[in-house]
Amino acid sequence: MAELTDAKRRIIEVLKRADEATAHELAEQFNTTTTAVRQHLDALEQSGLVERFEGVIQGRGRPAIHWRTTPVTRELFPDRHGELTVELVESLRGTLGADALDQVIDHRAARQLSSYRAGLPHGSVAVRVRALADRRTVEGYLAEVVADGADLLLIERHCPICSAAAACSSLCRSELEVFQAVLGPTVHVTREQHMLSGDTRCAYRVSPRTEAT
């Protein structure tokens, strides 16, 4: 893969955070011309890092061209595990069995939960969810929080342990359980989008818990 300029890297990060954008929207964000942005997008498209598609038609005229990142961009973001971790997961499963591997995952989850509980501030659910997103971003998950009515969406646009999670689905299961435990019994946490299921991001809905739930 050819070396990327700072401008192209920033375009990729903005697209990854926004899911999609037009060249005009990107130009406004970077305070530059649409022509300059299109030149960067064309180069990124040739490298297979972004792709174009037609947006929804609004009013008359042709639909605007939108841009989004491709799965290839995952290689540009932190990956803390990779092939070695996958090999270790497979070796543990092969030599000690699936039950032993689950015990290792549970031990990791317990340590993760303890660390999150110690690091998250006291306060409202919103304060804690945003602090959790900040912590996850430091860990490489490119996380953010979006309000959706009475709910909050914890969105992660990159997975630094994607290879390991693909080899061991218990990792994703344990992270959902950790989120539920660290945010407490007053909320209900569900996963709505999952990168390993083909989505471009992982999204967790944090809903106020009622007697019905």
CA distance 132 to 155: 11
Q: Average pLDDT in the 169-191 region? A: 93
Q: Which helix (H) or strand (E) holds 91?
A: helix 83-96
Share of the chain above pLDDT 70, in %: 91
Comparing 1 with 96, which gets the higher pLDDT? Answer: 96
Q: Are 36 and 5 in contact (CB under 8 A)?
A: no
Query: Does 16 score more than 60 pLDDT?
Result: yes
Comparing 154 with 171, which gets the higher pLDDT? Answer: 154
Q: Average pLDDT in the 186-190 region? A: 96
Query: Which tokens belong to 29?
Result: 């964000």
pLDDT confidence of residue 212: 46
Domains and CATH numbers, the chain: 6-73 (1.10.10.10), 83-208 (3.30.1380)
Q: Are 176 and 154 in contact (CB under 8 A)?
A: no
pLDDT confidence of residue 91: 83
Query: Does 168 score more than 50 pLDDT?
Result: yes
Per-residue pLDDT tens over the stretch 78-127 = 655 566 677 777 888 888 888 888 888 888 899 999 999 999 999 999 99
Classify burial at 51, counting beta carbons within 10 Å of its beta carbon; exposed 0-12, middle 13-18, buried 19 or more: middle
Q: Average pLDDT in the 53-72 region? A: 80
